Amino acid sequence: QFPRACVTAEGLGSAQCCPSPSALESDPCGARSGRGQCVDVRADARAHGPQYPYDGRDDRERWPRRFFTRACRCSGNFGGFDCGGCAHGFTGDACERRVPVVRRNVMQLSAEEKRFFVNALDQAKRTPHPDIVIATRRYAEILGPDNSTTQFQNISIYNLFVWTHYYSVSKTFLGAGQDSFGGVDFSHEGPGFLTWHRYHLLQLERDMQDMLGDPSFALPYWDFAIGGSECDICTDDLMGARSSFDISSISSNSIFSRWRVICESVEEYDTLGTICNSSESSPIRRNPAGNVARPMVQRLPEPQDVAACLELNAFDAPPFYSTSSDSFRNSIEGYSAPQGNYDPAVRSLHNLAHLFLNGTGGQTHLSPNDPIFVLLHTFTDAVFDEWLRRHAPDASVYPLENTPIGHNREFNMVPFWPPVTNAEMFVTAAENLGYSYEAEWPARPLTPTQIVTVAVVTALIAVAIIFAASTCVVRSRAYRTEGRQPLLGDQYQRYDDHNKTQSVV
Ligand SMILES: O=C(O)c1cc2cc(O)c(O)cc2[nH]1
Ligand SMILES: [Cu+2]
């Protein structure tokens, strides 16, 4: 994805993408007013893991340098591909004013807020992106036959969100007649899973803010860790109920029954070496809890699964892949159990929520076509943010090298523009990224040490109470025994006193 202003044959030839924020004058990146500067794009050259064995065969290696080597870097609170906009959470001519962007539980929105959100998504599905276009061919074929046209297309704001995900997971084309290579994923099965999806949501949220003219617009989230086999957001006031006529379709009362998916012809792209374009095809398919062949994915994650993964101390662990154990990232992504142990049969948390949907939302090349993707991923990002908050990690906790290609700390996330590294998203949202979550987290489960401590303290207290009570009983018995053998004089004295009191009354 690149700015429309950059994808002319001339622009690609120069390998520079530094547009001017004002259409009236040439002022790359708004440098004259101090908004930003046109700089060389740095791309990570450190070793990646063994999963990807090629070099130079894929446009996404050392992203985005195959296409452009110079881009805008914005100063202060300025932002955007030409520095004509503001960083997230800022507004005003000089981007000097903070605006709160608070992501809330979608189930707690009022009826009017729900309607507004659904309509805003539908507007994003229909509104062409004002600035960004998508490549529909690999770089080798990006110029048209006359060498003056280029293979890019306009796309709607929401479909761009779908396309970026597809592009990041697509296979490497190795040539006509050869199988494409599928052991590559620039946004899943590695530490970049959380940072990539965080930026993906930020881009959609920002595009929708601009579309709505409201810099405080916030995407809500779906707390999918509610257990059971009910999709609580699958109602016609939110993501659409089940159709009464087709178990895998959305009810015609929901606007989402009219949505059509993009990027469906994945076999064609992989055999011909083409790329998904903005053409829409069939409706969204969804059949929550309906995968009869896989009982394991018929129930949503449990609240304690979230509590358990938040307890994991290590952000990620070698080999920084979908096989990692004791990795917070692999647990929330859902390839290992919430407690951290890797088991190839397990699907938990984020992955389980995808597979539970059993349809468009459960296939990586298509999943964002179902708008539930947005809410599923804001929740995943909320858990990531809570982990960052509790564990306060240093930047060095994110691995610098030997992760699967695309996932090293300084790698520019594919295919975002302007370039943004995984490291830039490995920070707490409220303080650094201009948005926050309104969320409550399930109580932390006790550790074995804490359980033993509580048991010992409880036992000691019980012993103390029993000891005190038995001492009292023994003493009062002794007292009463003494009282039954009084001195004779004493006894008459007490009897007298009693009578006196009575006579006064
Ligand atoms: O099989 C999985 O675990 C699985 C499916 C799926 C779909 C998707 O869109 C994701 O982002 C992840 C994912 N994992
Ligand atoms: Cu996902």
Rounded mean pLDDT, 178-187: 97
Measured between alpha carbons, how far is 433 from 132 in angstroms, rounded to an integer?
Answer: 22
Of the listed ligands, the closest to the CA of 197 is 2
Secondary-structure percent of the chain, ordered helix, strand, coil, rounded to 5: 40, 10, 50
Lowest mean pLDDT among 53-67, 118-132, 434-448, 489-503: 489-503
Phi-psi region of 406 (alpha: psi -120 to 50; beta: other; left: phi over 0): left
Classify residue 171 by its DSSP letter.
P
Phi-psi region of 230 (alpha: psi -120 to 50; beta: other; left: phi over 0): beta
For the CA of 367, the nearest atom of ligand 1:
9
Please name the residue whose Cα sits nearest to atom 13 of ligand 1: 351
Measured between alpha carbons, how far is 261 from 244 in angstroms, rounded to an integer?
Answer: 21
What are the pLDDT digits (tens) for 21-35?
Answer: 988 789 999 999 999
What are the pLDDT digits (tens) for 283-301?
Answer: 999 999 999 999 999 999 9
Q: Are strands 70-74 and 2-3 parallel, antiparallel or unpaired?
A: unpaired
For the CA of 363, the nearest atom of ligand 1:
7
Measured between alpha carbons, how far is 41 from 417 in angstroms, rounded to an integer?
Answer: 11
Closest CA to 309 of 391, 202, 397, 206: 391
202 Cα–ligand 2 center, Å: 15
Please name the residue whose Cα sits nearest to atom 2 of ligand 1: 351
pLDDT surpasses 80 at 489: no
Amino acid code (one letter) for 257: S
* Residues with C-beta less than 6 Å from any ligand 1 atom: 188, 347, 351, 354-355, 362-364, 367
Measured between alpha carbons, how far is 314 from 320 in angstroms, rounded to an integer?
Answer: 11
> How much is the mean pLDDT over the chain?
93
Q: How confident is the model at residue 491 (pLDDT cuts 50, 70, 90)?
A: very low
- 437: enclosing H helix or E strand: strand 436-437
Rounded mean pLDDT, 455-464: 79
Report yes or no: 380 and 330 within 8 Å, Cβ to Cβ: no
pLDDT surpasses 90 at 464: no
- The per-residue pLDDT for 446 is 62
Please name the residue whose Cα sits nearest to atom 9 of ligand 1: 364
| 146 burial via Cβ count (<10 Å: 0-12, 13-18, 19+) | exposed
Given strand 36-40, what is the order of strands in its sheet? 16-17, 70-74, 36-40
Please state the length of the chain. 505
Q: CA dihedral in degrees (417, 90, 427, 329; nearest 10)?
A: -60
- The per-residue pLDDT for 460 is 83
Which of 347, 350, 367, 380 is the best mutation target for the ligand 1 pocket, counting ligand atoms within 8 Å of the beta carbon and taking the most? 367
Q: What is the pTM of this model?
A: 0.88
Measured between alpha carbons, how far is 335 from 347 in angstroms, rounded to an integer?
Answer: 6
- The per-residue pLDDT for 467 is 64
Of the listed ligands, the closest to the CA of 356 is 1
| 274 burial via Cβ count (<10 Å: 0-12, 13-18, 19+) | middle
Please name the residue whose Cα sits nearest to atom 8 of ligand 1: 364
pLDDT surpasses 50 at 505: no
- The per-residue pLDDT for 479 is 59
Tally of CA atoms within 13 A in the half-sphere of 483 that contains its CB = 7
Rounded mean pLDDT, 274-280: 98
Q: Which residue has the higher pLDDT, 449 or 316?
A: 316
pLDDT surpasses 80 at 76: yes
Lowest mean pLDDT among 44-48, 97-101, 427-431, 492-496: 492-496
Measured between alpha carbons, how far is 58 from 146 in angstroms, rounded to an integer?
Answer: 24
Q: How confident is the model at residue 442 (pLDDT cuts 50, 70, 90)?
A: confident
ipTM value for the complex: 0.95
CA–CA distances in Å: residue 278 to residues 122, 125, 149, 267, 341: 16, 11, 18, 16, 40
Please name the residue whose Cα sits nearest to atom 11 of ligand 1: 364
Measured between alpha carbons, how far is 234 from 225 in angstroms, rounded to an integer?
Answer: 15
Of the listed ligands, the closest to the CA of 355 is 1
Phi-psi region of 92 (alpha: psi -120 to 50; beta: other; left: phi over 0): left
434 Cα–ligand 2 center, Å: 23
SS3 498: helix
